[in-house]
C-alpha cells in the first residue's frame, strides 16, 4: 500500500517554507566544461511542432546546433541560424533590417510555423542587438498568424539545459490568465511520456492537465490562482518562479524518474486533488510494479557499482537518487552546475548521503577527485567523455538523459539500461 502521507507533502507558495535538513555542499568556481543554452533547441524544436528557433549568432553557433542536432534529425528541422557577418559585428550594417527581412522570408516559406523564437547568442549580445525589440516589431507585423518570442541561449556561465528554461520563461508573459483549477506540468517530456502521464492523470481523475511546453507552442495554457505547477524537469526554475509570480502554486515532489520518484510525483498531484488512497493504489500500483520489475532486470549489473556525476545537465541529483535508491549504486560525488534548492528540495530529502555534493565546477580539482575515486561509471558532458574513456573510465553522456525518454513508469527500465550499457561496453573492450 502506498502511504501518501509518507511522501513529501505539498508546498504552499515556495518549497523553502518547509524546514530542511541542511545538505553540505562543496561549492567550486573555476574552469568549467559545459555546452551553452543553444543546445536546448535540439529537443525543444522536436517537442513544439509548430515552432521555429532562429538563432541570431555566428558560424560557431550554427556549427554547435548542427553538430548537436545532426545525428538526431528525423524530420525537416525547425531551427536555423541567422549568421551575423563581419559588417554586422563591426556595426557597419543595420542588423535589425536584415533580421526582419530574414524572418519574413522564412515565415512566408514555412506557413506551418505559428511561433518563432528569436534566440540570442554571445555575438548578438556583444553587439547589443535587441531581440526583445525585434520580437515586438515583428509581432506588430505578423500577429495573429505568427507569434514571435525571444530569449537568450548564450553563455558559458550557464549550462545547456538552461536554454529550455529561458525558452519556456519567454512564454510565461503571453500565457492567458484565468484562475480555474488545472494542473500544469512544466518541462519537456517526450510525446510518448506525455501520453502515458495523461492516461494516469485521467485514471486518477485529475484534470484538466496542460503541458508546458506542449506539442504546439501556439496552444498556450492559461495560468492563475487555480494553477498547480508540477515540474517534470529540475532545470526550469526561472519558468516555475515566473508562473508562481502569476499566482500559480508549486506542488513539491521528486521528479518522475524511477518507480519511486514517479509514484511520489503522481502522489503530489493526487493529494492536491484529494484523490482517495484506494483510487491512487488501483491506478498506480500495477504500473509501479511493472516499473520495479523492469528495474530489477538491470539491478544485478549496477548494484554495488560506484557512480561519479560531473555537473552538466542539472539532472544529476534525481538521477543519483534513482540509481542509489532503486539500483543499489554507491554515490561517490554528485555534481550539479547550479543547486536550485527550490527545484530539488524533495530530491535532496531522498538522496542518500554522498561523500560529496558539489555545485559549480573547478574542472582540474574535480578530475583529480574522480581519478582518485576510480568510479565504475562517470556521468559527464560530451567533451569529457572521450578523454576519460581513454583513461579507462566508463562514461555516460549526460546529454542522453535529456534526449532519451526516461520519465515515468514505462521508461524506468530504459533509464537503468542507459547505465548498464557503458559497463558492458567496457567489459567487451577488456576481453
Ligand atoms: S557559447 Fe556563445 S558563441 Fe558559442 S555556440 Fe553558444 S552562443 Fe554561440
* 421 in the same domain as 313: yes
Given a cut of 90, whether residue 409 has pLDDT beyond it is yes
Q: Which residues contact 349 (CB under 8 A, 6 or more apart)?
A: 8, 20, 21
Q: Per-residue confidence at 8, pLDDT binned at 50, 70, 90?
A: very low
246-258 pLDDT, tens digit each: 999 999 999 999 9
β-pair type (209-212, 227-231): unpaired
Please state, for a pLDDT cut of 90, what percent of the chain lies above it. Answer: 78
Whether 161 is in a domain gets the answer: no
Q: What is the mean pLDDT of residues 114-124?
A: 95
- Full domain range(s) for residue 119: 37-155
Q: Residue 15: what pLDDT?
A: 36
User: Residue 159's pLDDT band (boundaries 50, 70, 90)?
Assistant: confident
Supply the pLDDT for residue 183.
98
- Confirm or reject: Cβ of 413 under 6 Å from ligand 1: no
Residue 124 lies in a domain: yes
DSSP state of 206: -
Which comes out higher in pLDDT, residue 354 or 334?
Answer: 334
User: Is 360:337 a contact under the CB 8 Å cutoff?
Assistant: yes
φ, ψ for residue 396 (rounded to 5)? -125, 125
Helices 258-272 and 191-204: crossing angle, nearest 10°?
50
Quick one: three-class SS letters along 312-330? CCCCHHHHHHHHHHCCCCE
Residue 46 sits in the same domain as residue 15: no
pLDDT band at 6 (very low <50, low <70, confident <90, very high): very low
pLDDT class of 219 with cuts at 50, 70, 90: very high
Residues 94 and 197 in one domain: no
Least confidently predicted of 144-158, 337-351, 396-410: 144-158
Q: 333 forms bridges with which residues in the sheet?
A: 308, 356
Strand order across the beta sheet in which 377-380 lies = 26-29, 356-361, 330-336, 306-309, 377-380, 395-397
In degrees rounded to 5, what are phi and psi of residue 307?
A: -135, 135
Closest C-alpha residue for ligand 1 atom 3 = 122
Q: What is the mean pLDDT of residues 40-55?
A: 94
Q: Are residues 314 and 356 in the same domain?
A: yes
pLDDT at 267: 98
- Read off the CATH number of the domain in which 356 is found: 3.40.50.1980
Q: What is the mean pLDDT of the chain?
A: 90
What pLDDT does residue 356 have?
87
φ/ψ of 425, rounded to 5, equals: -60, -45
> Is it true that the peptide bond before 72 is cis, omega within 30 degrees of 0?
no
Task: Please give the C-alpha separations between residue 329 and each of 56, 132, 375, 380, in angstroms, as whole numbers.
Answer: 43, 46, 11, 17
The verdict on 147 and 182 lying in the same domain is: no
pLDDT at site 270? 98
Residues 217 and 179 in one domain: yes
CB 354 within 8 A of CB 336: no
79, part of any domain: yes
**What pTM was estimated for this model as a whole?**
0.92
Has residue 167 been placed in a domain?
no
Domain count, the chain: 3
Question: Residues 119, 56: contact at Cβ < 8 Å?
Answer: yes
Taking 90 as the threshold, does the pLDDT of residue 77 lie above it? no
The verdict on residue 241 lying in a domain is yes
Whether 14 shows a pLDDT value over 90: the answer reads no
Closest ligand 1 atom, residue 57 Cα: 8
Q: For residue 154, give the 3-state DSSP assignment.
A: coil
301 and 412 fall within a common domain: yes
pLDDT tens sequence across 344-377? 999 999 998 767 899 999 999 999 999 999 999 9
Q: Which of 120, 122, 159 to mutate to test the pocket of ligand 1 (most atoms within 8 A of CB)?
A: 122
Which residues share a beta bridge with 225?
none
Residue 7: pLDDT band (50, 70, 90) is very low
- Mutation pick for ligand 1 pocket among 34, 35, 36 (CB with most ligand atoms within 8 Å): 36
Whether the per-residue pLDDT at 130 is higher than 50: the answer is: yes
Q: From 38, 160, 163, give the residue whose CB has the most ligand 1 atoms within 8 Å, as the site to mutate.
A: 38
Instruction: Kindly indicate the confidence band of residue 24, based on its pLDDT and cuts at 50, 70 and 90.
Output: confident
Q: Is the pLDDT of residue 317 over 50?
A: yes
Amino acid at each position: 500500500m502506498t502511504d501518501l502521507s509518507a511522501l513529501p507533502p505539498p508546498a504552499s507558495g515556495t518549497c523553502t517554507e518547509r524546514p530542511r535538513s541542511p545538505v553540505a555542499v562543496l561549492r567550486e568556481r573555476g574552469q568549467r566544461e559545459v555546452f551553452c543554452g543553444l543546445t536546448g533547441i535540439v529537443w525543444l524544436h522536436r517537442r513544439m511542432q509548430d515552432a521555429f528557433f532562429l538563432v541570431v549568432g555566428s558560424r560557431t553557433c550554427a556549427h554547435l546546433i548542427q553538430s548537436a542536432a545532426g545525428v538526431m534529425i528525423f524530420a525537416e528541422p525547425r531551427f536555423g541560424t541567422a549568421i551575423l557577418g563581419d559588417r554586422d559585428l563591426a556595426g557597419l550594417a543595420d542588423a535589425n533590417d536584415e533580421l526582419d527581412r530574414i524572418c519574413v522570408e522564412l515565415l512566408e516559406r514555412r506557413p506551418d510555423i505559428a511561433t518563432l523564437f528569436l534566440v540570442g547568442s554571445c555575438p548578438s549580445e556583444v553587439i547589443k542587438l535587441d531581440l526583445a525589440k525585434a520580437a515586438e516589431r515583428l509581432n506588430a507585423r505578423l500577429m495573429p498568424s505568427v507569434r514571435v518570442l525571444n530569449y537568450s541561449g548564450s553563455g558559458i556561465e550557464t549550462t545547456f539545459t538552461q536554454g529550455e528554461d529561458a525558452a519556456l520563461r519567454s512564454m510565461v508573459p503571453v500565457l492567458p490568465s484565468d484562475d480555474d483549477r488545472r494542473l500544469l506540468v512544466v518541462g519537456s517530456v517526450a510525446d510518448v511520456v506525455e501520453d502515458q502521464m495523461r492516461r494516469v492523470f485521467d485514471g486518477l481523475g485529475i484534470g484538466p492537465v496542460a503541458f508546458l511546453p506542449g506539442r504546439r507552442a501556439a496552444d498556450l495554457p492559461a495560468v492563475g490562482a487555480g494553477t498547480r505547477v508540477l515540474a517534470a524537469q529540475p532545470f526550469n526554475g526561472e519558468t516555475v518562479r515566473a508562473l508562481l509570480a502569476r499566482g500559480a502554486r508549486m506542488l513539491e515532489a521528486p521528479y518522475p524518474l524511477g518507480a519511486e520518484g514517479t509514484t511520489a510525483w503522481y502522489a503530489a498531484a493526487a493529494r492536491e486533488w484529494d484523490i482517495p488512497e484506494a483510487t491512487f493504489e488501483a491506478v498506480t500500483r500495477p504500473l509501479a510494479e511493472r516499473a520495479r520489475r523492469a528495474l530489477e532486470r538491470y539491478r544485478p549489473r549496477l548494484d554495488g557499482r560506484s557512480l561519479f556525476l560531473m555537473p552538466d545537465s542539472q539532472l544529476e541529483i534525481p538521477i543519483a537518487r534513482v540509481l542509489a535508491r532503486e539500483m543499489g549504486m554507491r554515490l561517490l560525488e554528485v555534481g550539479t552546475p547550479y543547486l536550485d534548492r527550490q527545484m530539488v528540495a524533495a530530491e535532496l530529502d531522498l538522496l542518500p548521503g554522498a561523500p560529496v555534493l558539489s555545485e559549480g565546477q573547478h574542472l582540474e580539482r574535480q578530475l583529480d577527485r574522480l581519478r582518485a575515486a576510480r568510479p565504475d561509471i562517470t556521468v559527464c558532458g560530451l567533451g569529457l567523455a572521450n578523454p576519460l574513456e581513454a583513461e579507462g573510465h566508463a562514461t555516460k553522456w549526460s546529454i542522453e538523459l535529456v534526449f532519451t525518454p526516461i520519465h515515468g513508469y514505462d521508461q524506468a527500465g530504459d533509464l537503468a539500461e542507459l547505465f548498464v550499457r557503458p559497463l558492458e561496453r567496457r567489459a567487451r573492450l577488456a576481453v
